[in-house]
Amino acid sequence: MSTAPAPRIPSPAPPWPPGELEDRLRALAAERYHHRHPFNLRMHEGLLSPEELRRWVLNRFHYQRHIPIKDALILAKLDDRELRRSWIRRIHDHDGRSAEDGRPAEAGGIERWLRLGEAVGLDRTLLLSGEGVLPAVRFAVEGYVGFCRLGSPLEAVASSLTELFAPDLMVTRIAAWERHYPWIEPAGLRYFQVRVGQGRRDSDEALALVHAWARTRADQERVLAAFTFKCDVLWSLLDAVDRPAPGTRDGR
C-alpha cells in the first residue's frame, strides 16, 4: 500500500552570517535615524530660531527623564547578576549619584539637561513641571517606555541600538551650536560632550548582547523591527517639535 508523501515543511531561513545583522542595522539607520530629519538638518545649518531651539530642549527633556525609567524596566528583565550590575550604570548616568563612602556626588545627565535648558533661557522649574510638552511627544515617549516594558529583553535592548549613531550626531550638533548659536551659554553643551563617550560605551554593550542573544533569523528580524520602531519614536518626536499643531502652547 502506497502512502502519501509527507507534506514538506519549509525549513526556517538560516540566521544571517556575522556582520550582516549589523550591516542591516546600519542600512536602516542611514534611511530612518533622526540625523536625517528636516528639523535636525535645519539645526545643523544654523536655521533654527531661539524659540525653536527652546521648544526642542523642552520636549527632549521629556524623553531624557524617561530614559532611566525604561532602563529600570529593562534591568528588571535581566536574570543575570553581571548583566544587571552593568546595566544599572545607565540609570546612574542619567539620575546621578549621592555622595557615599568618600565618593563625591555626581550630577548625572538629567541635571546636565536642566543646565542645558538654562543655557538656552529655560527655567528648570518649567522643564520639571512638564508644562508645554507636546501631546505627540508624550505619546512617542510613552510608546518607547511601553515597548521596553512589554517586549522581550532582546527587543528592549535592541531598541537602544539607535545609540550606535547618536555620538556622531552629537559631535555634529556640538560643532553646529558653537558655530551658529553663539547666544547659547557654552556650559549647556556639557550634556552632549559627556554623552558622546557614554553613548559609544552603551551601544557597544547593547550590540554585543544582541549578537549573543539573536541566534535565529526570527530573532534577528525582531532586532531590526525593534530598531525601526525606535527610529520612528525619535522621528515622531522631531515631527511634533518641527510642526507643533495649531492650538498647542507653542503652535500659535
Residue numbers at the binding site for ligand PQQ (CB under 6 A): 67, 160, 162-163, 166, 169-170, 195, 234
* Residue 246 C-beta: closest distance to ligand PQQ, Å: 27
* Residue 67 C-beta: closest distance to ligand PQQ, Å: 5
Q: Which is nearer to ligand PQQ, 15 or 196 (CB)?
A: 196
* Residue 234 C-beta: closest distance to ligand PQQ, Å: 6
Q: Which is nearer to ligand PQQ, 47 or 218 (CB)?
A: 47
* Residue 214 C-beta: closest distance to ligand PQQ, Å: 18
Q: Quick one: the chain helix, strand, coil %, rounded to 5? A: 70, 0, 25
Q: Which is nearer to ligand PQQ, 16 or 111 (CB)?
A: 111
**How many DSSP H helices and E strands does the chain contain?**
11, 0
Q: Which is nearer to ligand PQQ, 162 or 236 (CB)?
A: 162
Distances (CA, A) of 165 to 46, 98, 199, 211: 21, 31, 9, 17
What residues have CB less than 8 Å from 89, skipping those under 6 apart? none
Residue nearest ligand PQQ, CB atom distance: 162
* Residue found under cell 532586532: 223
- CA torsion sign, 87 to 91 to 94 to 100? negative
